[in-house]
């Protein structure tokens, strides 16, 4: 970890801890998402600790519509790096905001789940929350 990364993290944590209301809107929107009444988050995001490539991928994740999926290859295409499919998977795996920037909506090209830091059961439940027709990972991309 570089000195600048450590310094950024050190500055970020006290800002959050000093204003305990700073996460109220995020908590409210997450509650609404899990209750099925919110389909798109509107939160200020700070992705400064992500590399440029990972930031591109993570921001692209926010463009995948609720209840829809894309393949890792499609995400790579959308960011203009069609050969970077494994790197897209890595960026999804290190996504610091996995519900807000919905990496669970990214599947393998064959429609199977791929991976998910929270586990494949969680990925399946998130996809079923958004699209009850999702059949657990052997589906066609929708």
Residues with a catalytic annotation lie at 103
Candidates 67, 111, 100, 70; CA nearest to 88 is 70
To which residue do tokens 């290190």 refer?
Answer: 94
Q: Please say whether the beta carbons of 47 and 96 come within 8 A.
A: yes
**35: which residues sit within 8 A by CB, 6+ positions away?**
none
């Amino acid at each position: 970890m570089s000195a600048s990364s450590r310094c950024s993290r050190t500055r970020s944590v006290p800002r959050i801890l000093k204003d305990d209301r700073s996460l109220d809107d995020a908590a409210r929107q997450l509650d609404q998402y899990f209750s099925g009444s919110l389909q798109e988050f509107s939160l200020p995001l700070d992705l400064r600790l992500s590399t440029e490539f990972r930031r591109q991928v993570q921001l692209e994740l926010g463009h995948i519509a609720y209840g829809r999926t894309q393949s890792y290859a499609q995400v790579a295409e959308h960011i203009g790096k069609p050969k970077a499919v494994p790197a897209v998977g890595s960026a999804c795996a290190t996504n610091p905001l996995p519900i807000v920037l919905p990496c669970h909506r990214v599947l393998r090209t064959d429609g199977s789940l791929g991976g998910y830091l929270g586990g494949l059961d969680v990925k399946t439940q998130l996809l079923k929350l958004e699209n009850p027709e999702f059949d657990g990972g052997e589906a066609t991309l929708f």
